[in-house]
Structure 1
Amino acid sequence: MILGLTRSWSLAGYIITAILILPLIALIVQSTLPDQAVFSHLFNTVLPTYIANSLLLMLLVGLGTLVLAIPAAWLIARCDFPFRRYFQWLLLLPLAMPAYIVAYVYTDMLDYAGPVQRVLRAWFGWQSPHDYYFPAIRSLGGAAIILSLVLFPYIYLLARTAFMEQSSSLLYASRVMGCSPWRSFWRLALPMARPALAVGVALVAMETAADFATVSYFAVPTLTTAVYDTWLGYGSLTAAAKLSAIMLLVVFSMIGVERFARRKQQLFQKQSSLNEADRYVLSSKMAWVALGYCALLLFIAFLLPFMVLCAYAIDYFNESWDVRFWQYSLNSLYIAAIVSGVCVVLSLILMFVRRVSPRKSDQIPARLSSTGYALPGTVLAIGVLVPLTFIDFAINDIYDWFGARGPGLLLTGSVFALIFAFCVRFIAISIGSLENSYKRISPSLDMACITLGRTPTQLLWRVHLPLLRKGIFAGALLVFIESMKELPAALLLRPIGFENLATYVFQFVSDEKLEHGALAAIVIVLVGLVPLIYLNRSLEQQG
């Protein structure tokens, strides 16, 4: 921070921040308004069930992801077995698969009419559901299993990093003191990794709380589905805002846990690198067990659903390859392109102000602008509807006052609401990307530029922009991909008759006809693989 900015730059940062946090403020204000009829009815009837299901689902998914991720992370980080180097990035692939698509595939396979139960009935001669017991996939437990399969890479990635950064000298010392590899893991490595695991569980819990499509498909009532149903079913924006405020309380509690756990990570003793000699050389039998576990986890969480999608796409290619597919693909592309461009420009202004301003108050806008990423899609949609609806009515009232016909739902009835919501939610990604890039630019370059008499605008244009190209590209790419995949906000905010790939696929999932939307689903999955490839390359370069 070496440069005094002109008031226009600083003011621009505050205006951008005020616009981006407007949905959050409007949501909180709207939730304080009286709405005795709808919310009181929900409070006295189904709200306790919504809250209990949400908390129980977060607990089950947190436990499930820990059980799946910790063994894989330990094997990849500290053991040597065939194809380990490939599995260290292959196990990230389930993040690219939307959970509701995995839910559909396994429901189709495991339901009463599915191939698994048909084979069991043929083998054992069962005639009806009363002859045997088979766990119901369409249940809260089924939703927890599906979400665990999709979300375990969050914990796997953090746990793997934590295990790799632990000092080998401590593990050697435990072995000298007579601990077996298992006892060394249980009594030393796992306790030291607890802060990273707490961070991962908090992230998983936040993603679980924000999930709408999977719980909706399984008919599991949670707070996310309650917000959606209250707005579309009861038409009460205030009641939906109250439910959203409850979700905000849950989400920000998770953020608080995550920040507290990350604070304790500085207590770890880290080493700069992990040599191949530091890994346990597994016996032939155990090596095959490790290989089988990683392969089975990858197959169940990603390969099997993806192969089923490919089979659907081939069988129903003529039905999928139509005008609607191209139209909805173009809708997704141009919405995502606009959002990524706007987010990059706004985040560049915010980070430039934060970089060069000597005033501590100018550091606040960039931090506040990132809070939208913590909002679940349905909550964000309600937060966007509140101020935009007010503005729409105000514009029409002005037209009526002048005796003219108003434009109608100018903001909420167009793609503007969708673009605005995506910008609020995903600008944190581009801010984070630019922040990392700015850390690599020496402050001496700023000093030299100002010494030569250049203005702040010239500093940004001639010095910072050329050096930030990779960060700008990475941020724009990640925002673009997230905008292509976002579903809950798109369902609530899309104009009448407007569809993108995410809503198009979910419509087929809801109608039990994913076969007809498999091609669009494959596009979403392939697009989701891009940030994972980028992440893997970044990790390899850091390694």
Structure 2
Amino acid sequence: MAETRYAAHGSRRRLSSGTRLLGGLAYAIATACLLPMVAVALAALTGGTETLSHLLETVLPGYAATTLLLVALVAAGTFAVGVGAAWLVTMTRFPGVRLLEIALVLPLAFPAYVLAYAYTFVLDHPGVVQTTLRQVTGWGPRDYWFPEIRSTEGAAVMLILVLYPYVYLLARAAFLQQSASAFLAARALGTGPWAAFWRVSLPMARPAIAGGVLLAVMETIADFGTVAYFGVQTFATGIYTSWFSMADRAAAAQLALCLLGFALLLAVAERTQRGKARYYQSGRRHAGLPAGELTGWRALGAFTLCAVPVVLGFVLPVVILVQMGLESEQDLLSRRYVGFIRNSLTLAGTAAVVTVTAAICVGFFQRLRPGRRSDGAAYLARLGYAVPGGVIAVGLIVPFAAFDNALDAWMRAQFGLSTGLLITGSIWLLIAAYMVRFLAAALGAYEGGQSMVHANMDAAARSLGQGPLGTLRRIHLPILTPSLLTALLIVFVDVMKELPATLIMRPFNFDTLAVQAYRLASDERLEGAAVPSLVILAMGLLPVILICRQVGRGK
């Protein structure tokens, strides 16, 4: 009997020890995610009012107006394309619909800045379209008007083409989950199909659609590569210009604080609308929405409307990039490019492992000890998805640069030695920025798989003497392997595409494929930029293929 009590006491002690370890790690991760935002706020508030006054008088109104215009255009465009395509493939049947409902996800593999390089090569003044137009008509450069691709509107189109799949996926899932009862009742009362869509189906899917649009908007304010290449002056480009071109850290921090406030406002709006908007089905979902057969010109019109985003957002850019790559002098197998690929894989692979490990710590601790503290840690860990990469970069460099400088000064004074920059400019600080930025994506994938692990499994493991770490290692991780692999892949590809944080924080002479593509495009060597862009695209196709498989099984 004494041995039994001792074993039980030992089990509780192991459980408490493991929980404390996970709790300490979860709180440390949450603190790391909060640090960039606090550092940006402190640096901005201590930067002096002179810089802020100068910004208000010069560039700040322009940055704000351009950013808001870009956000409005992308929100409207992704809503129209995403919801329209989702409704057509869900509610109608026409030749090619099965192929299109999967192909509509493919543009998600493209970074917006890569799409910008491809279309600039074709549509700019020296491009094939305008050159052919001048040759056919005999016009001079001033004899005709052509839409300017390097503009706010052009940047909005690029972002719409790569971000509408967020809205499409969530809207399609919402339409598929709706019961036919309300829709058929509206039709029975004399409402036409279009009116029933606007009055019944669309309001019921509003929470999912709003979530997709807000995701697209947050990606828009975080974008740097597209707006920088097109010369569009937004908060993202202003941060980079202030940091590098003007060497004004205070201005960069204050611009970052403005962008951070806007991003957090959107995050709060997304959480609020998701929490309050509820539409309940009466009874069980016994039948899905009825799909109508389209023939003739209606079928052709539906096919065209769904095919245009796929062609413009994936097929045509791939063809252009391949042609550009074949015409370039870039050798993907050269020693220099092998270095770019190695650097990209090193950053992406390490960041993926670190980020998913952090997600496991936060997610499993929340399961072990549900409550305000663990929920708060998980909420802070998710904030990074709403913070642009440039803001995170500024927020991490400012405190760690101060620490490095203080340590170096102390070592010089005490021992006559210079420690230099131990943390700032290191690969590990850049990986920390990636973890903060993409931890929310890893947490989402992990929690989706964790919901499949029944609580009885945890109880059975405890009854057999397993502590938290043993339960995690022997029960959870084997079951969660598919979800963890998905999380690893998503973070890996996101890091491969990330540009602003990499540009600001990368170690000296440590360039990646994204940096090389941006550098070549900035020098107007678009053919050369196509080569690293194609490699980034190939990597981006991996998670999109997984999503396409899920879409194919959606029905």
Alpha-carbon displacement from aligned partner over 1:187-226 (angstroms, at most 9, x marks no partner): 3323333333322222221111111111111111011111
* 1:320–1:517 CA contact under 8 A, matched in 2: no
Distance 1:254 1:318 in 2: 41
Query: SS at 1:327's partner residue?
Result: helix
**Residue in 1 that maps onto 2:265:** 253
Q: Tell me: CA distance 1:282–1:264, structure 2 relative to 1, closer, same or farther (3 Å).
A: farther
**Residue in 2 that maps onto 1:63:** 76
- Range with bigger deviation, 460-469 or 71-80: 460-469
Distance 1:104 1:478 in 2: 24
Q: How does 1:336-375 map to 2 (within 5 A)?
A: 336-357=348-369, 360-375=372-387
Alpha-carbon displacement from aligned partner over 1:306-344 (angstroms, at most 9, x marks no partner): 111111222336644422211100001011111111122
**Per-residue deviation, 1:523:** 1.2
- Which among 192, 202, 225 is matched to residue 213 of structure 1? 225
Q: Please give the root-mean-square deviation of Cα atoms over the aligned residues, in Å.
A: 2.1
**Per-residue deviation, 1:487:** 0.7
* 1:196–1:265 CA contact under 8 A, matched in 2: no
**Per-residue deviation, 1:349:** 1.9
**Per-residue deviation, 1:273:** 7.4
**Residue in 1 that maps onto 2:412:** 400
Aligned AA (2:261): L
Q: How does 1:41-190 map to 2 (within 5 A)?
A: 41-129=54-142, 131-190=143-202
**Residue in 2 that maps onto 1:496:** 508
- Which among 8, 12, 29 is matched to residue 42 of structure 2? 29
**Per-residue deviation, 1:359:** 5.3
Q: Tell me: CA distance 1:16–1:134, structure 2 relative to 1, closer, same or farther (3 Å).
A: closer
Unpaired runs of at least 5, structure 1 = none
**Corresponding residue pairs, total:** 540
Query: SS at 2:415's partner residue?
Result: coil
Distance 2:74 2:66 in 1: 12
* 1:339–1:422 CA contact under 8 A, matched in 2: yes
**Per-residue deviation, 1:123:** 3.5
Aligned AA (2:363): M
Distance 1:193 1:461 in 2: 39
Sequence identity percentage: 39
Distance 2:22 2:137 in 1: 74
Distance 1:421 1:524 in 2: 20
Q: Tell me: CA distance 1:183–1:57, structure 2 relative to 1, closer, same or farther (3 Å).
A: same
**Residue in 2 that maps onto 1:284:** 296
* 2:19–2:368 CA contact under 8 A, matched in 1: no
**Per-residue deviation, 1:46:** 1.2
Aligned AA (2:145): Y
Q: Tell me: CA distance 1:363–1:170, structure 2 relative to 1, closer, same or farther (3 Å).
A: closer
* 2:332–2:338 CA contact under 8 A, matched in 1: no
- Range with bigger deviation, 261-270 or 161-170: 261-270
Q: Tell me: CA distance 1:361–1:290, structure 2 relative to 1, closer, same or farther (3 Å).
A: same
Query: SS at 1:495's partner residue?
Result: coil
Query: SS at 2:161's partner residue?
Result: helix
Query: SS at 2:278's partner residue?
Result: helix
**Per-residue deviation, 1:489:** 0.4
Aligned AA (1:382): V
Q: Tell me: CA distance 1:203–1:8, structure 2 relative to 1, closer, same or farther (3 Å).
A: closer
Unpaired runs of at least 5, structure 2 = 1-11
Aligned AA (1:40): S
- Range with bigger deviation, 222-231 or 531-540: 531-540
**Residue in 2 that maps onto 1:294:** 306
**Per-residue deviation, 1:6:** 4.6
**Per-residue deviation, 1:351:** 2.0
2:489 aligned with 1:459, yes or no? no
* 1:72–1:294 CA contact under 8 A, matched in 2: yes
Aligned AA (1:12): L
* 1:487–1:503 CA contact under 8 A, matched in 2: yes
TM-score by length of 2: 0.92
Q: Tell me: CA distance 1:273–1:138, structure 2 relative to 1, closer, same or farther (3 Å).
A: farther
**Per-residue deviation, 1:537:** 2.5
Aligned AA (1:35): G
Distance 2:287 2:124 in 1: 46
**Residue in 2 that maps onto 1:383:** 395
- Range with bigger deviation, 279-288 or 3-12: 3-12
- Which among 481, 484, 507 is matched to residue 496 of structure 2? 484
- Which among 250, 274, 280 is matched to residue 262 of structure 1? 274
2:179 aligned with 1:196, yes or no? no
**Residue in 2 that maps onto 1:445:** 457
Distance 2:322 2:286 in 1: 40
* 1:320–1:518 CA contact under 8 A, matched in 2: no
Distance 1:252 1:360 in 2: 21
**Residue in 1 that maps onto 2:52:** 39
Distance 2:330 2:519 in 1: 19
Distance 1:518 1:100 in 2: 11
Alpha-carbon displacement from aligned partner over 1:86-130 (angstroms, at most 9, x marks no partner): 11121111111111121122222222222222333333332231x
- Range with bigger deviation, 424-433 or 180-189: 180-189
